[in-house]
A = this chain, B = another copy of it.
Amino acid sequence: MTSDHPVSQIDETVHQRYRLGIMAFLSGVERADFRTAREELGLTDGNLNRHLVLLADAGFVDVTKVAPEGKRTRTWLSLTPAGRAALDEHVRALRSIIDSVPDRT
């Protein structure tokens, strides 16, 4: 039971809607802080954290905590080269699927 349908190229780590949103957002910036990403996506701290753990474990997102002396810790997020490659592949698979939908307009 094999198929070369583009759905078979979809990585669930990237496809989950919030993780796709996080990776797409990070693809357009050098890095973003946790609060900015949280507000961009409309997620709670807990939910964003949960998705970041999965993305970091996959090697797709780098999470770096920076604590300048006397200032509050900031958590910086950035897409890794592996994350960028996975996102590009995912975008290709999605385009292939959605381009197969006949346009009704």
CA distance A12 to B17 in the complex (A): 8
Point out the residue from B1, B3, B44, B98 that lies within 8 Å of A95, measured CB to CB: B98
CB of B40 within 8 A of CB of A5, answer yes
Copies of this chain, whole number: 2
CB of A42 within 8 A of CB of B95, answer no
**Closest Cβ–Cβ distance, residue A26 to chain B (whole Å):** 10
CA distance A12 to B18 in the complex (A): 11
20 A-B contacts (beta carbon < 8 Å): A1-B38, A1-B42, A1-B43, A3-B39, A3-B40, A3-B42, A5-B41, A5-B42, A7-B18, A8-B42, A10-B17, A12-B17, A15-B15, A20-B97, A21-B97, A27-B100, A27-B101, A28-B101, A88-B104, A91-B98
